[in-house]
Structure 1
Amino acid sequence: MFERVKLVWRAYQLLMTKHPWKVQILTSGGLVGFSDIVSQQLVERRGIANHNVKRTVKMTTVGLIYVLAVAPCFLAGFITVTGFLGGLPREKIWLKLQKDYKNTLISNYAIWPTAQLLNFYFIPLEHRLAVVQVVALMWNTYLSWMANRM
C-alpha cells in the first residue's frame, strides 16, 4: 500500500513539473470540491441522498478559477515589486521571474493546500489562525529568501 502511495506521489510530482498550470488548477479545484463533499457528509452529516451536488460544483469552480488566479498573480507581483524596490533594472527582474516564478508557484501549491486542509479538518477553531500564521511565517521566510537571492 505504501509503495502505491509513493508511486502516485512521484507521478504527481512529475506531472507537476511537466504541466504545472494544469495540475495546479485541477488539484486546487479537486481539493476545494472534495472539501465541500467532506463538509456536507462528515461535518453537516447530510447523507448521500441530501448531498447538494450544485454546491459541490460551485465550490469546485471557485477552486478551479479563483483560488488559482490569486496565487499566480500575487507571486508574479511579489517577485516584480521586490525586485523593483531592491533597485534591480527591468531586465534583471524579468530574468528573475523566468528563473524563480515556476518553482515558487509549485512550492506554493505544495505547501498551502495541504496546510489549509490539515488545519481545517484537524485543528480546533480557536487554534487555526495560529497554525496559519506559523505556516505563513515559514512561507514568508522562503519568499524573502527567494526574492532576495541572485
Structure 2
Amino acid sequence: MAALWRGCGRVLARRPGAAQALTAGALMGAGDVIAQQLVEQRGLRGHHCPRTLKMMAIGFCFVGAFAPCFLGCFLGVTGAVNGLSVQDNWSKIRQDYMDALMTNYCIWPPVQIANFYFVPLQHRLAVVQCVAIVWNCYLSWKANRM
C-alpha cells in the first residue's frame, strides 16, 4: 500500500493540476457527506451516494477560484445533473445565487485575511482545506435543496 501511495504521489507531483482537481473533488465529496449526515441528518441508510459522487465529479471537473462565475455555473451544473428542467434550474439559480454569493463573501475574505496575517506559512493550506470542507458542505446543502 505504501508503494502505491508513493507512486501516486510521484505522478501527482509531476501533474499539479491533477492534484488540485483530486483535492477539489475530495473536498466537495467530504462537504456533501457532512451535509447529508450532520446537516440533513439522513443517517447511513438514507445517505444518497449518487449525490456525493456528483458533487465529487463537479469538484474534480469544474471547481476553481472564481466565485461569482463559479457559483452561478455551479448551481446550474448541479441542477442539470440533478435533472431539473431549464425553467426549474433557472428559478433555483435566481433563488439561491445571491445568498450563496453573500455567504461566500462573508466566509472567504475574513478567512484569507486571518490566514495570511496570523497563520504560519506551513499551516495555511490546512486552514483553507478545513474551511473548504465547511464551505463545500454549505454548497452541497444549498444546491441540493429542492
CA distance in 1, matches of 2:67, 2:123: 24
Bigger-Rg structure (1/2):
1
Gaps in structure 2 of 5+ consecutive residues: 1-64
Equivalence for 2:71: 75
CA distance in 1, matches of 2:78, 2:93: 11
How much has 1:70 moved relative to structure 2? 2.4
Cα-Cα RMSD: 1.2
State the aligned residue count: 82
Q: 1:102 pairs with 72, 76, 98, which one? A: 98
How much has 1:81 moved relative to structure 2? 0.2
CA distance in 2, matches of 1:82, 1:98: 14
Q: 1:1-20 counterparts in 2 under 5 A?
A: none
How much has 1:71 moved relative to structure 2? 1.1
Q: Are 2:130 and 1:127 aligned? A: no
Q: Are 2:141 and 1:148 aligned? A: no
- TM-score between both structures, scaled by the size of structure 1: 0.53
CA distance in 1, matches of 2:110, 2:131: 11
How much has 1:89 moved relative to structure 2? 0.7
**Letter of the 1:123 counterpart:** V
Identity of aligned residues (%): 59
**Letter of the 2:118 counterpart:** F
- Structure 1 runs of 4+ with >2 Å offset: none
**Letter of the 2:121 counterpart:** L
Greater relative contact order (Cα < 8 A, sep 6+): 2
